[in-house]
Structure 1
Amino acid sequence: MPFFQNRGKTKLKKSVKDQQTSVKRNQRMVFSAQKTAATRQLSCVSANRPSNRRVAHSQKASGKHVEVAGSDRQRDQEKQDQAVQELVEHLKSIAPFNKRWQVIETINQGTYGVVFSVRDVVTKVYGVIKVAKSMANEAGNVSAEWEGFILETMFKRSETASIVRLLDKGMLADQHGEGMEFVVLEKAAVPVKDYIYEVEGAHRKYRAANISLQMLKGIYDLHAQGLLHRDLKPDNMGLCSREQPIALLFDLGMARMYTDGESDIRPPRTCCPFRGTPEWASGHAQKGREQTRFDDLIAWLYVTCELFANEREPIQPLPWTYRNNTRAHKYLKSMYCPARYLLKTLPDQFYAINAYLQTANPQKPPDYHFLAEKTYEAIKELEVKKLQLSPIPMTAERVKNPIPKGSKGKSKSRSRKKSDVEKNMPKNLKQ
């Protein structure tokens, strides 16, 4: 009898321990989901309807959708919206923040904070301010504080990194006197897709390849500082201006250190919550495994596929977009899926890139030189095609006035052909 009693006590202890472990795991998952929601609401770009639809569908289809206890759905939505609007009006009333930043417009607002487009009243420099609302779980404050720390640390080490600059940071008080973290970031005002789809044909593909190479440079800069982005997508990068089309990465709220204090790779966790957006995440990351540098690079390849799409908003930008079958998601993101399904609009060089990323050892450093070299080869080929097919991109002015004033189409083409022939004639045959 004592033997069976002890055995029953052991089983009871194990069941209690399993329950405690399960509760802790659920708490971690909920807090991770809260931080993800905070990062989304504190994004530097306003969420558009197609992107929201894709993100929501990919989360449900991949099984990464987590119900957050105490979230918006369990509260009175009208009261919550009213509280958020009161916060927005209060913040506008106390502007300029830090006696510098004047509010221009509201970019995003929600439970976890507010994002404004601002301008420095002295230097006239434009920026984006993220104000994290103080809450019991502190998900918003954690996200904003972590992003500010990353940017401040990065530019102390590398001033040429292709990441938005940290312009200012500090504390503000809301309408109830509670403290709120704020960070002011450099504004990458031009969306990447707007810049790419201004032109057509070879010019558009040439721009897409250049943006892809610059994005790769930003990822390399992050990895060089021991950081993983973990949420790469077209909405998380932009250009400084059309005059200076330099792509910069932003929204680093989901970034994580993959190295320890001595530049050694941290050992992978046995259980880690998924962070990122399933639509652009690698198949390895969607399995709930520890993300590595290769997961960022695979996400870079997926974003590049979208930038090379024939339309700005295609029906199915990626092979798994709007698919409800989880098994199809896993297959299409695996190394067994034929590359032509994914790379049908990309230059041939990206087939070698895809093969390398799918088969490389994720525990070893990536070959960034190989990736950059192949992308640069694609750029040079597209540059030749661009010059051969259409020397000048089709802008709005050329659409209105395709033929310059004072010249006719036939005479212009004949004279151009004649000048080309004369240019290629030997000197002894010229009169």
Structure 2
Amino acid sequence: MRSPGEQQPEGGADGASRILAGRYRVTGRLGRGGMGVVWRAVDEVLGREVAVKELRTYNDAGSGELEELRTRMQREARAAARVRHSGVIAVHDVAQHEGRPVIVMELVEGPSLDDVLRERGSIEPREAAAVGAEVMDALAAAHAVGVMHRDVKPGNVLLEKRGQERVVLTDFGIAAMEDPDDGASTNLTVSGELVGSLDYLAPERARGEPPCPASDVWALGATLYAAVEGAAPFRRTSTWSTLNAIVVDPLPEPSRAGP
């Protein structure tokens, strides 16, 4: 269900036949989240398939809100583009569509780790370890150039199945960068605001402290725990109880991790 003021896509629910930014023809929807929609599209100039992320906006959005969205999108593109690693999503373009920014990225043919867990419940420890090693390499490359992802979770780990299998870290939408070089303050969130998926927050983030590279490593550990055990280690029934568990509870003893 859409909020009353939310802009509705042209071309039906899947957006098919829309032309974004004058050159990207939508062929279907890849995913949808709280911030917007990711479309499968064809770049009609270069003749290749791409993924296009379009932020959700509202008809009554003010110029200040649109400007912040534009800065966030540019920050996401800059963060991903700064990291040169095969395990990080490649960004091709940042464009405008009807006054709103869109990010054009490589199309990764394969499910997310979250999709796999929804279908299978869990994965074998060795398989999880292999995925984790690839994501850790990508995070190390990001941290080396001053980028912290801040939202490592199963939904942001893509498993490409076309040709050689590849693990890809995506969605740098809330990434933090040292020296972002975009004329905006480094922190685009309200002081004390929690950003990222609650189930995978590191304890220091749950306490409201600034993120650091170790926070991404913790989130990856929680992601791999969920992959092997079938549930995030500190998930509880409410936001407060989950935050409290992250900060004070010991890690639940894994039962499927093996030796």
- TM score, norm. by length of structure 2: 0.76
SS of 2:19's partner is coil
CA distance in 2, matches of 1:233, 1:321: 13
- The residue number in structure 2 matching 1:300 is 220
- 1:347/1:227 Cα in 2 relative to 1: closer, same or farther (>3 Å)? farther
Question: What letter is aligned with 2:256?
Answer: T
The within-5 A match list for 1:314-325 is 314=230, 317-324=231-238
Count of residues paired in the alignment:
243
Question: Which protein shows a greater Rg?
Answer: 1
Identity %: 17
CA distance in 2, matches of 1:85, 1:110: 15
SS of 1:170's partner is strand
Q: In the alignment, does 2:77 pair up with 1:148?
A: yes
- 1:110/1:322 Cα in 2 relative to 1: closer, same or farther (>3 Å)? closer
CA contact (8 A) 2:21 2:96 kept: no
Q: Name which of 234, 254, 279 aligns with 2:154.
A: 234
Question: What letter is aligned with 2:105?
Answer: L
Q: Name which of 158, 162, 167 aligns with 2:87.
A: 162
CA contact (8 A) 2:28 2:39 kept: yes
- The residue number in structure 1 matching 2:197 is 277
Q: In the alignment, does 2:51 pair up with 1:128?
A: yes
- The residue number in structure 1 matching 2:42 is 119
- The residue number in structure 1 matching 2:128 is 208
Q: Name which of 166, 180, 186 aligns with 2:100.
A: 180
User: How big is the shift at 1:93?
Assistant: 5.5
CA distance in 2, matches of 1:260, 1:144: 13
SS of 1:163's partner is coil
RMSD, matched Cα: 3.6
Question: What letter is aligned with 2:94?
Answer: K
CA contact (8 A) 2:89 2:169 kept: yes
Question: What letter is aligned with 2:78?
Answer: F
- The residue number in structure 2 matching 1:252 is 172
SS of 1:142's partner is helix
- 1:208/1:184 Cα in 2 relative to 1: closer, same or farther (>3 Å)? same
Q: Deviations over 1:350-371 (max 9, x none)?
A: xxxxxxxxxxxxxxxxxxxxxx
Q: Determine which structure has the larger helix proportion and give its number.
A: 1
User: How big is the shift at 1:210?
Assistant: 0.6
Q: Deviations over 1:132-183 (max 9, x none)?
A: 44832124323222112223333xxx3x34211112232222xxxxx22121
SS of 1:284's partner is helix
User: How big is the shift at 1:86?
Assistant: 4.9
Mind listing any 5+ residue stretches in structure 2 that lack a counterpart? none
Question: What letter is aligned with 2:225?
Answer: C
- 1:342/1:185 Cα in 2 relative to 1: closer, same or farther (>3 Å)? farther
CA distance in 1, matches of 2:179, 2:137: 19
User: How big is the shift at 1:289?
Assistant: 0.9
CA contact (8 A) 1:162 1:221 kept: no
User: How big is the shift at 1:333?
Assistant: 4.4
Q: Name which of 145, 169, 178 aligns with 1:225.
A: 145
Mind listing any 5+ residue stretches in structure 1 that lack a counterpart? 1-71, 174-178, 349-431
SS of 1:254's partner is coil
User: How big is the shift at 1:194?
Assistant: 5.3
Question: What letter is aligned with 1:344?
Answer: S
Q: Name which of 85, 91, 95 aligns with 2:19.
A: 95
- TM score, norm. by length of structure 1: 0.48
Question: What letter is aligned with 2:102?
Answer: F
Q: Determine which structure has the larger strand proportion and give its number.
A: 2
CA distance in 2, matches of 1:114, 1:328: 28
SS of 2:79's partner is helix
CA contact (8 A) 2:20 2:26 kept: yes
CA distance in 1, matches of 2:138, 2:29: 27
Question: What letter is aligned with 2:168?
Answer: L
The within-5 A match list for 1:317-336 is 317-324=231-238, 326=240, 329-334=243-248
